[in-house]
Amino acid sequence: SIPNYLTNNANIYAATHFLWNRQSELIAKSEYYDDFAQLIFLEFQSNINFGRTLELLGESNSSAEFVTYSTEDDNYSGFIESAMKLANKKTNKVFAVAIGESYQHKSLFNFGNVVECILLPAKLFKVVKHFWVLNNFTKTIQGEFPSPVTNSDFNKAFIENCKPVVYVDAQHGLGNRIRAIGSAAAIAKAANRELVIVWEPDHHCECKFADLFEYSGRVFDKSLLKEADMYIDVFNYMEIEPGAQKDKPVVLNDTKDVYLRAAYTFKHHDSHWQSENEFIQTLKPTAEIQAFINQLDVENCLAAHVRMEAGKGLDHNTYDSVENWTQEGHDELHFWRDKSHFSNFIKRIDALIEENNELKIFLATDLEENYKVFEDYYGDRLIYLKRDLYDRSKEQIKYGLADAILLSKSKKLLGSTWSSFSELAMRMSKTYSSIEMSGKDF
């Protein structure tokens, strides 16, 4: 086998070569070349992004805070707890540095705020301190340093302060987002973790989660993907995005948060139709949306959801363009939208009216002209929620949620295949005894 001294030297040479090509001025700044190179190698070996190492050295424009463990602190676990409070207070990143038995670098990701927990042997701390002095960070170093923190105390403090959560960054339209949230909620419940919803308004859905639901859990209106990619496990199912892997099985790490990003359900043994819908059915609409729902009595109606927008020739909106999916997915979308043309629904509804002449119809559709066609054809049989908007604006999404809930209150649904909105109604319903889907059942 290769002697250790040769391996160690090779690692130092490799780190020095990396620095020379990446940021050579750092070599000139350092007084302890071998130790500096060893620090760089250890950071690399621990999968620490080089940008984070630069932050540790004070060699970036980061506004991170730096704290060091000293004799003024009661115990190491309390020191880390204080660092987390500081990060939350400043909405920032905190480097919590201590002299330790051996090098360790772990991160606590706390709702977008980060504590970098770092142990450095004395010779490596000397390297970091040298850069701090050069960058006028001397105020960070307070008190006398106690005996080195043991690896055991470090790991104990990390576990005590680590409360892993499940983040779900819900994407695309209303139905897509809610099914992704339901899936993540099932995973979180089974793992006894807090669920954190990330719901960023965009052209697919121009509203906030709070515009739709009365919800006491934690919700973020901005994506945390960039931060999550650096610190925690990420499962991104949005296949058009760099690095995404749709349907990759979700694996939970006991000491790490997980960040789930999708417009779909996630692959995990605790995420299935029943467990996902258990959470979805607990979501309570706002009083405004409930007032829309209360306008109509649809319990004995046939529910019909006609989804035609985004079909061939009807995909001119940005949220329906091919850029949102793969070409294969877009072609399949066109195929199923053609199957959900209003004429196919009318044929099936006419057959059902022949069986029950008293039948009334509750209609939800995405095109204004479809309401006109159905109203002219069915007259007083037709019930629908009147509105003036047919887009993805905040006000229209509110009507959309009301539509989905009204659809879910019937006993029979005629749905549109390959529509997450029809799926949403199914997930919300506790009353369906019969479901028929366009292109499959009629």
Express each pLDDT in 161-214 by its tens digit.
Answer: 999 999 999 999 999 999 999 999 999 999 999 999 999 999 999 999 999 999
% residues pLDDT > 70 (the chain): 92
pTM of the model: 0.86
Q: What's the confidence (pLDDT) of residue 434?
A: 97
- Write the pLDDT tens digit of every residue in 338-380: 999 999 999 999 999 999 999 999 999 999 999 999 999 999 9
Q: What's the confidence (pLDDT) of residue 136?
A: 84
Q: Answer whether 306's CB lies under 8 Å from 340's CB.
A: yes
Q: What are phi and psi of 324, to 5 degrees?
A: -85, -10
- Write the pLDDT tens digit of every residue in 311-336: 566 665 665 566 665 767 667 877 88
Tokens of 136: 């006028």
User: Does position 426 have pLDDT exceeding 80, yes or no?
Assistant: yes
User: Does position 6 have pLDDT exceeding 50, yes or no?
Assistant: no
Strand order of the β-sheet with 258-262 is: 218-220, 194-198, 165-170, 258-262, 233-236
Residues 6+ apart with CB under 8 A from 314: 308, 320, 337, 367
User: Does position 2 have pLDDT exceeding 60, yes or no?
Assistant: no
Q: What are phi and psi of 89, to 5 degrees?
A: -65, -40
Strand order of the β-sheet with 302-306 is: 382-383, 361-365, 302-306, 412-415, 434-437
What residue ranges in 318-429 does DSSP mark as E strands?
361-365, 382-383, 412-415
Residues 6+ apart with CB under 8 A from 297: none
**Mean pLDDT over the full length of the chain:** 91
Beta bridge partners of 361: 302, 382
Residue 33 and residue 53: Cα distance in Å, rounded?
A: 16
Q: What's the confidence (pLDDT) of residue 11?
A: 77
Q: From residue 16, give the alpha-carbon distance in Å to each of 11, 29, 38, 408.
A: 9, 13, 9, 64
Name the residue with higher pLDDT: 105 or 312. 105
Q: What's the confidence (pLDDT) of residue 161?
A: 93
